[in-house]
């Protein structure tokens, strides 16, 4: 089965990008996503010599879209340079669904799959964060958006951090006599 013409366009955009940017051990996969607005964003995956630093093309494409305020994903696809569609890895399924839980993922043989079908039992955000509301609250008081219980936990954590710094500083001062003239205990 063939993908639709508009999805074929997305596939070709990802394929042509990885063909152009392919570099062994650096870029093997290209991704293209279409935002709800219709805008398209493309990226290659970024491989690293230290393997765990590698970042998938999907993540970078989502970041590029988010930078333009377009992180509402309608459809996303990734391909290798031979034109094979590559299914998103588990982390990318989480990421795509986290940004757009109604996004569609293009797979081989014309399959168009809702991302949540690829990710049963996804972790859900506990609540939608209203960024503007949060920014407004931070403007008044950095802790206003916390419950009283969370606030006291945050204060306790700050105090514990400061206490640790005082202890470490006093310990360092007692081990280095030339530092005795410093004011031990000042948590700066």
By annotation, the residues acting in catalysis are 58
Whole-number minimum distance, CB 130 to Zn ion, in Å? 29
Please name the residues in contact with 175: beta carbons below 8 A apart, sequence gap of 6 or more. Answer: none
DSSP code of residue 50: S
Instruction: Give contact residues for Zn ion (rule: CB under 5 A).
Output: 56, 89, 92
Q: Nearer to Zn ion by C-beta: 48 or 89?
A: 89
Q: Nearer to Zn ion by C-beta: 18 or 169?
A: 18
Whole-number minimum distance, CB 139 to Zn ion, in Å? 36
Give yes or no for a contact between 59 and 95, defined as CB atoms under 8 angstroms apart.
yes
- Extract the tokens encoding 79: 């391909």
**Rounded CA gap, 96 and 94, in Å?**
6
Please name the residues in contact with 187: beta carbons below 8 A apart, sequence gap of 6 or more. Answer: 162, 165, 166, 169
Give yes or no for a contact between 32 and 42, defined as CB atoms under 8 angstroms apart.
yes
Whole-number minimum distance, CB 92 to Zn ion, in Å? 3
Whole-number minimum distance, CB 94 to Zn ion, in Å? 9
Ramachandran region of residue 4, left (φ > 0), alpha (ψ -120 to 50) or beta?
beta
């Amino acid at each position: 089965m063939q993908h639709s013409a508009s999805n074929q366009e997305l596939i070709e955009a990802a394929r042509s990008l990885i063909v152009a940017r392919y570099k062994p051990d650096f870029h093997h996969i290209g991704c293209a996503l279409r935002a709800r607005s219709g805008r398209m964003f493309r990226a290659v995956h970024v491989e690293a010599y230290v393997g765990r630093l590698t970042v998938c093309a999907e993540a970078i494409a989502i970041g590029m879209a988010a930078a333009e305020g377009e992180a509402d994903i309608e459809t996303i696809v990734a391909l290798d340079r031979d034109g094979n569609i590559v299914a998103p890895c588990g982390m990318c399924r989480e990421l795509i669904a986290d940004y757009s839980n109604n996004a569609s993922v293009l797979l081989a043989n014309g399959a168009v799959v809702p991302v949540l079908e690829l990710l049963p039992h996804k972790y859900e955000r506990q609540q939608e964060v209203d960024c503007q509301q949060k920014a407004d609250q931070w403007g008044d008081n950095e802790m206003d958006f916390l419950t009283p219980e969370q606030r006291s936990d945050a204060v306790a954590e700050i105090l514990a951090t400061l206490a640790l710094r005082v202890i470490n500083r006093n310990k360092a001062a007692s081990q280095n006599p030339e530092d005795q003239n410093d004011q031990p205990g000042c948590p700066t």
